Amino acid sequence: MKLLMRIMWWACLAALLAACQEDAKLPEKSVFTEDELIIDPGPLKIGFAMDTLKEERWLKDRELFEQAIESRGLEVEIAAANGDDALQIAQAEKMIQEGIDLLVIVPHNAEATAAIVHKAHGAGIKVIAYDRLVKNAEIDLYVSFDNEKVGELQAEEMLELVPEGNYVYIGGAPTDNNAHLLKKGVFDVLQPAIERGDIHIIYDEWTEDWAPEQAFIHMSQALEINGNQIDAVIAANDATAGGTVVALAQKGLAGSVPVAGQDAELAAIQRIVDGTQSMTVYKPIQQLSERVAALAVELAQGNAIEPTASINNGKSEVPSVLLEPIAVDIGNLESTVFADNFHSAQEIDGME
């Protein structure tokens, strides 16, 4: 409805301007009444349909995206679905019915969310996939960090620390496309060392919904099966790294087995300072939220955008923008997460 009003508004203005140009003055009697000319549809409204607020990063995403949209004079409606596919679809449908101008979505389930894209497109609303790709639907834009690169950074740093030995891979949620990209990045880097026989993947599991409790169970199993003979762990994010470190701690191994994570969560930075996690991958959320907000405005106004990549999602080549992730360990905490105020050193025990 709002979209219709917006189109009518622009049509009125365009017709009026055309009339002015023809006669070089206002027509004696405008074809529009005064009331019709002042139908102002109000600011553009962006819907932000999030999967979850469980991990610390999503709270930052919510806050920074809201600020980025509002600072551009637009409105934003935000909902989070608690990892529930049906709820996420219902929340997005409600936004569509209420007349958002564009939908930004962080899909819980890469495949299930295609239904929302079809609904939005049916209502003439464009869709941006935020951080996670929607599969098998013609989404208009995908903006994320380079997730394969995240995995590569993890594996490169771990190979330097542990060039030979037994590796455990604790993956992310199989329903999240990012989990697959991360894993590809990790294994692309590890493959030559695996082929040389330098490293052995002795355990490799997905983690349903990225749950730390499940990561804990996986890591406990890995330790059990291999008689604690584990030299390195790559976990798909800091939440799963957290579960892993608890399992290692139960065997007195926290701090002696290097662990990699991703997200630069506060708890992970604390573990890096404590020596129980070796590295994380920092993704400046500010850059992501700003970029999506700027592109959302362009798309909602029907302007062309300049993607930096194109990614096949099973249905189409999706115009994409991929930002650079940054490997973080004890050596560059200051110049990365602290310098950017992502966290402050005061929040960390053992730092001044």
Binding residues (CB under 6 A) for ligand BGC: these are: 55, 57, 131-132, 176, 178, 210, 237, 263
Closer by beta carbon to ligand BGC, 182 or else 199? 182
Strands 165-170 and 232-235, how do they pair? parallel
When the beta carbons of 117 and 285 are compared against ligand BGC, the nearer one is 285
| For ligand BGC, the closer CB: 44 or 49 | 49
Percent of residues in the chain assigned helix, strand, coil, to nearest 5: 45, 20, 35
Min dist CB 286 to ligand BGC, Å, is 14
Shortest Å, Cβ 239 to ligand BGC: 6
The string over 241-266, giving b where at least 16 C-beta atoms fall within 10 Å of a residue's C-beta and e elsewhere, is: bbbbbbbbeeeebbbebbbbbbbbbb
**Whether 36 contacts 12, CB under 8 Å:** yes
- Rounded to a whole number of angstroms, the minimum distance from the CB of residue 272 to ligand BGC is 16
Q: Which is nearer to ligand BGC, 202 or 266 (CB)?
A: 266
131 vs 152, which CB is nearer to ligand BGC?
131
For the CB of residue 178, give the shortest distance to ligand BGC in the complex, in Å.
Answer: 4
| Beta carbon nearer to ligand BGC, 112 or 123 | 112
The amino acid at residue 148 is E
> Smallest gap, in angstroms, from Cβ of residue 131 to ligand BGC?
5
Q: What are phi and psi of 257, to 5 degrees?
A: -110, 115
Instruction: Specify whether the CB–CB gap between 313 and 301 falls below 8 A.
Output: no
Q: Report the nearest approach of ligand BGC to the CB of residue 201 (Å).
A: 22
What would the DSSP string read from start to end of 19-42? HHHHHSS--SS-SS-HHHHT----
- Amino acid, res. 91: Q
